[in-house]
């Protein structure tokens, strides 16, 4: 971890305070580096990170230099700021981070409210992107929309809303319509809006905001897309968008929810194409989309060995040939997507679930969906000071949950640390009882588990099916 990241974390004490006054002042003192660039702004409860990745890789495949700002990171802070397919380096993070931090300190010295950690990082990203001269920058909203620091941009090429669901309700509201009001805050006057929001009340809020701002709304929620085939390695999706055929798109991200995210990204690309903001070449677009991956989102780490000399053979042996799947679902909709994906990709397979969550999440709703995947659980907790749900408390939630047949769930182990949970799961897999081990419940947990697997002394054998060893280079 760099010194800049340590300094960013010092601003964490100010919390996640929504509002644009602080970040506007900070950017003004930095010379407004965010001005003069082209943006695609993406908000949503679930799916915004994957949609951003589809947009990034699809546009890059067509020859565009693309900046990407996203959060949270899975293993390394540098993941949050990327340009042209590479993470910001530690040296670049120090250079631009120090500039943002210096101006933040000036604000405090002048008696103004301090920027939050997210705002300082956002300012750092703007400085970095400005220096790289991107064709397009894709901004993922941190929380909500209207008061999120990313909303400081004034005229994006498109405002994209991937979904509306229940999350961060203590900040965003208790109903989907209230949450939609916040997320619809990214809609700007005269800028096209692409929405894949299925709830009627929430969709009505977005439509009203688009009308009030004179922005054309492209509602793709009712456009059908089909999955032609699906496997642990990926899937093929086909859809038609306003008389433009996008058939047989092969992607590496798995699940019906990822087909929906692909549809949202393709709709955004199609709108920009029709508006002559971009030009695309079909084969290059498809090649780019296939490269889009999101670590920790139904990520298949490895599966059964393919032969005696296969480099995955040792890893498969460690887990007795079981697939290992990582998914950071932490709310109702995310857990529902896991259940669907597990049924589509691993129908009838014996599954062990290793789960841990943070406080203030929809624990019982998440467990109700997971109970439809398996009755066998290992309870653990993320290493997230102050917010992690204690493993024993989480285990009590599991004990109270019943599957659809009314049967209680089985707790095989309760582990206070992710490393213990990984080792416990490995021992269970060695019995040969399980075809799949699913780690889930929090992106914080998934980041730790991923690092544990990658940091193994035998990690040379832990290469992934799709991503390779992602230790090199440079949502909870």
Q: Helices (H), strands (E): how many in the chain?
A: 16, 17
Amino acid 384: pLDDT: 74
Amino acid 17: pLDDT: 66
Whole-angstrom distance, CA of residue 337 vs CA of residue 307 = 32
Amino acid 309: pLDDT: 45
3-state DSSP call for residue 389?
coil
- Burial class of 301 by CB neighbour count within 10 A (0 to 12, 13 to 18, 19+): buried
Amino acid 305: pLDDT: 57
Q: In what order do the strands lie in the sheet with 299-302?
A: 299-302, 323-327, 436-440, 351-355, 376-379, 410-414
Q: Count of alpha carbons within 13 Å of 281, Cβ hemisphere only?
A: 8
Q: Count of alpha carbons within 13 Å of 314, Cβ hemisphere only?
A: 9
Tokens 């979904």 identify what position?
A: 163
CATH of the domain at 181: 3.40.1190.10
Amino acid 107: pLDDT: 95
Residue 394 lies in a domain: yes
The model's pLDDT over 275-301, given as tens digits with 9 standing for 90+, comes to 999 999 999 999 999 999 989 999 998
**C-beta of residue 436 within 8 angstroms of C-beta of residue 325:** yes
The CA-atom distances, in angstroms, between 375 and each of 108, 255, 304, 325, 410 are 53, 21, 23, 17, 6
First to last CA, the chain: 20
Q: In terms of domains, do 283 and 426 share one?
A: no
**C-beta of residue 40 within 8 angstroms of C-beta of residue 136:** yes
Residue 345 sits at φ, ψ, to 5 deg, of -90, -35
Residue 470 lies in a domain: no
DSSP conformation class of 222: T
Last residue of a domain, one of 291, 310, 345: 291
Q: In terms of domains, do 141 and 172 share one?
A: yes
The model's pLDDT over 363-412, given as tens digits with 9 standing for 90+, comes to 999 999 999 999 999 999 998 766 889 999 999 999 999 998 999 999 99
Amino acid 1: pLDDT: 58
Whole-angstrom distance, CA of residue 376 vs CA of residue 373 = 9
The kind and range of the H/E element at 137 are strand 136-140
Residue 115 lies in a domain: yes
Amino acid 313: pLDDT: 47
Residue 469 lies in a domain: no
**C-beta of residue 8 within 8 angstroms of C-beta of residue 98:** no
CA-based nearest residue to 96, from 8, 1, 17: 8
Other residues' Cβ atoms within 10 Å of the Cβ of residue 468? 10
3-state DSSP call for residue 435?
coil
Last residue of a domain, one of 291, 322, 355: 291
Q: In terms of domains, do 317 and 271 share one?
A: no
Q: In terms of domains, do 12 and 65 share one?
A: yes
Q: In terms of domains, do 197 and 223 share one?
A: yes
Whole-angstrom distance, CA of residue 4 vs CA of residue 428 = 41
CA-based nearest residue to 473, from 134, 174, 75, 110: 75
Six-digit token string for 288: 């780019």
* b (16+ CB within 10 A) / e for 28-43: ebbeebbeebbbbbbb
Residue 467 lies in a domain: no
Amino acid 138: pLDDT: 98
CATH of the domain at 414: 3.90.190.20
Residue 260 lies in a domain: yes
Query: Can you list the residues of the chain whose pLDDT is less than 50?
Result: 14, 169, 306-309, 311-314, 316, 456-476
Whole-angstrom distance, CA of residue 453 vs CA of residue 433 = 21
* Predicted TM-score (pTM) of this structure: 0.87
Q: In terms of domains, do 258 and 307 share one?
A: no
3-state DSSP call for residue 333?
helix
DSSP conformation class of 213: T
Structural domain boundaries enclosing 36: 3-291
DSSP β-ladder status, 436-440 and 351-355: parallel
Whole-angstrom distance, CA of residue 295 vs CA of residue 254 = 12
The kind and range of the H/E element at 372 are none
- Burial class of 460 by CB neighbour count within 10 A (0 to 12, 13 to 18, 19+): exposed
Residue 132 lies in a domain: yes
Look at the chain and report how many structural domains it folds into: 2
The model's pLDDT over 201-240, given as tens digits with 9 standing for 90+, comes to 999 999 999 999 999 999 999 999 999 999 999 999 999 9
Whole-angstrom distance, CA of residue 270 vs CA of residue 187 = 18
Last residue of a domain, one of 258, 291, 324: 291
Amino acid 314: pLDDT: 47
Residue 428 lies in a domain: yes
Peptide bond between residue 44 and the one before it cis (omega within 30 degrees of 0): no
**C-beta of residue 111 within 8 angstroms of C-beta of residue 157:** no
């Amino acid at each position: 971890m760099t010194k800049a990241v340590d300094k960013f974390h010092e601003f964490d004490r100010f919390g996640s305070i929504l509002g644009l006054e602080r970040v506007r002042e900070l950017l003004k003192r930095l010379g407004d580096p965010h001005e003069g660039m082209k943006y695609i702004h993406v908000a949503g409860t679930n799916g915004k990170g994957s949609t951003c990745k589809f947009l990034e890789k699809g546009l890059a495949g067509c020859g565009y230099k693309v900046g990407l700002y996203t959060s949270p990171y899975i293993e390394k802070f540098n993941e949050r700021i990327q340009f042209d397919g590479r993470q910001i380096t530690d040296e670049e993070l120090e250079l631009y981070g120090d500039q943002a931090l210096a101006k933040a300190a000036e604000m405090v010295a002048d008696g103004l409210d301090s920027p939050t950690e997210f705002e300082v990082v956002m300012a750092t990203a703007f400085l970095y992107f400005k220096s790289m001269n991107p064709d397009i920058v894709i901004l993922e909203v941190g929380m909500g929309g209207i008061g999120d620091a990313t909303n400081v941009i004034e005229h994006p090429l498109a405002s994209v809303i991937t979904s509306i669901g229940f999350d961060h309700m203590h900040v965003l509201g208790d109903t989907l319509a209230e949450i939609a009001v916040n997320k619809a805050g990214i809609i700007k006057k005269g800028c096209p809006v692409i929405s894949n929001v299925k709830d009627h009340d929430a969709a009505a809020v977005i439509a009203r905001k688009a009308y009030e701002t004179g922005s054309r709304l492209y509602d793709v929620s009712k456009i059908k897309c089909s999955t032609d085939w699906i496997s642990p390695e990926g899937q093929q999706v086909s859809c038609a968008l306003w008389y433009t055929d996008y058939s047989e798109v092969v992607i590496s991200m798995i699940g019906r929810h990822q087909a929906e995210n692909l549809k949202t990204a393709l709709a955004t690309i199609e709108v920009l194409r029709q508006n002559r903001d971009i030009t695309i070449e079909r084969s290059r677009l498809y090649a780019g989309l296939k490269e889009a991956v999101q670590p920790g989102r139904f990520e298949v780490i490895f599966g059964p060995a393919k032969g005696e000399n296969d480099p995955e053979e040792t890893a498969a042996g460690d887990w007795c040939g079981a697939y290992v799947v990582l998914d950071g679902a932490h709310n109702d909709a995310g857990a529902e997507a896991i259940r669907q994906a597990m049924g589509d990709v691993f129908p009838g397979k014996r599954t062990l679930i290793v789960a841990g969550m943070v406080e203030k999440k929809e624990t019982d709703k998440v467990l109700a969906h997971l109970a439809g995947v398996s009755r066998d659980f290992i309870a653990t907790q993320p290493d997230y000071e102050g917010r992690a749900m204690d493993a024993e408390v989480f285990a009590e939630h599991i004990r109270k949950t019943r599957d659809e047949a009314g049967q209680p769930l089985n707790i095989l182990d309760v582990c206070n640390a992710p490393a213990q949970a990984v080792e416990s799961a490995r021992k269970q897999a060695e019995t040969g009882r399980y075809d799949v081990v699913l780690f889930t419940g929090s992106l914080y947990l998934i980041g730790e588990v991923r690092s544990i697997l990658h940091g193994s002394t035998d990690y040379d054998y832990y290469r992934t099916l799709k991503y390779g060893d992602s230790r090199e280079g440079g949502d909870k």
